[in-house]
A and B are shown apart, each in its own frame.
Chain A
Amino acid sequence: MLMCRDLADIASDYIDGELTNRQNLSVKMHLMMCKHCRTFIGNLRASTDLLKVHASRQENEELIRKIDERVAEALGARKSESDGCK
């Protein structure tokens, strides 16, 4: 019998669809009977979504500017090298 603690232990695997059919079924059965675990899974899933949104908004403007500069420099050096070969 799957207990709440066991469910919490494998909750991310459940959310990501990484459980075996058998495990998946026992989680579903438990969720039907247990309100607390339903809330837990819902909230863990919401936390995961929150992270996705948050991470996609991370800004690295300063780093990107630096890389652009170095890439432009390297491309320029490469171009003048190949021009010299002609």
Chain B
Amino acid sequence: MDTSTHPDPQGSLIEDLKRGNSFAYKEAVREYSPGMLAVARFYLDHSSAEEIVQDCWVTVIDAIQKFEGRSGLKTWLHRIVANRCKNKLRSINREVATDFSESLDPELADRFNAKGRWDLPPKLKFHESADTLMENDALSGCLDKHLSALPETQRSALMLYEAHQHKSEDVCNILDINASNLRVLLHRARQKIFLMVETFQETGKC
């Protein structure tokens, strides 16, 4: 999101939140909840994740008093969510299991010959812009379907990095993974989307 046109929109929002201004809360809830949900979904199923995000907002009302602004508000909120999720996982004795071993998608890996050259190269160029592609409801629906089929860890990393534009360092902190693992998660998820769009463009099917 572009905030460069405003001098310091966050500073005044934070002050308003500290004062308990209900309009400021409405604004902040709308702005930051989707990202907080993406964090929570890394750790938990959908309904537990929604619950955690709701609970976090209630604790924010007190916690914000101690917020010193060393990190951005978004990063701070995401860390609160992550910590709460980790506590919850600890209490039910579950861990997030993720495979970081291969960065190439198996389906894509099969498209190279033994020498490492393309055997089945990408046929078409995706010629339309992202905005135009998204006008296509069928494609957008297909994307939804594929995103929800992604392993939760890939999806969360993708959302935090792409949609909520966190720096890699922050994503790693929030999700408790190292930088090279994050690179694998991102690359795996993007390849899946690439394969999906390719199939969609070639066949019109999801």
Contacts and interface: CB of A to CB of B under 8 A. Distances in A.
A51 B196 CA distance: 12
Interface string B16-51: 000010100110011001100100000000000010
Interface string B93-136: 00000000001100011001001111001101110011101100
B22 A50 contact: no
Given A51-B193, A54-B143, A57-B134, A39 B61 contact: no
Given A4-B116, A58-B34, A63-B37, A51 B26 contact: no
Contact of A50 (B34, B37, B103, B133): B133
B143 A9 contact: no
A74 B33 contact: no
A67 B163 contact: no
A85 to B, nearest CB: 14
Which label, helix, strand, loop or mixed, suits the secondary structure of the A interface? helix
A2 B81 CA distance: 42
A24 interface: no
**Range of interface residues on A (Cβ < 8 Å):** 35 or more
Contact of B159 (A18, A43, A55): A55
A46 interface: yes
B57 A5 contact: no
A44 B104 contact: no
A13 B183 contact: yes
A22 interface: no
Contacts of A72: 22, 25
Ranked nearest first, the 8 interchain pairs of A and B with the lowest CB-CB distance are: A55-B163, A3-B116, A36-B121, A5-B116, A12-B187, A49-B130, A46-B126, A5-B112
Interface of A: 3-6, 8-13, 16, 18, 36-37, 39-40, 42-44, 46-58, 60, 63-64, 66-68, 70-72, 74-75, 78-79
17 contacts: A5-B109, A5-B112, A12-B186, A39-B124, A42-B126, A51-B190, A51-B193, A52-B163, A55-B158, A55-B164, A60-B33, A67-B54, A68-B29, A71-B29, A71-B58, A74-B61, A78-B61
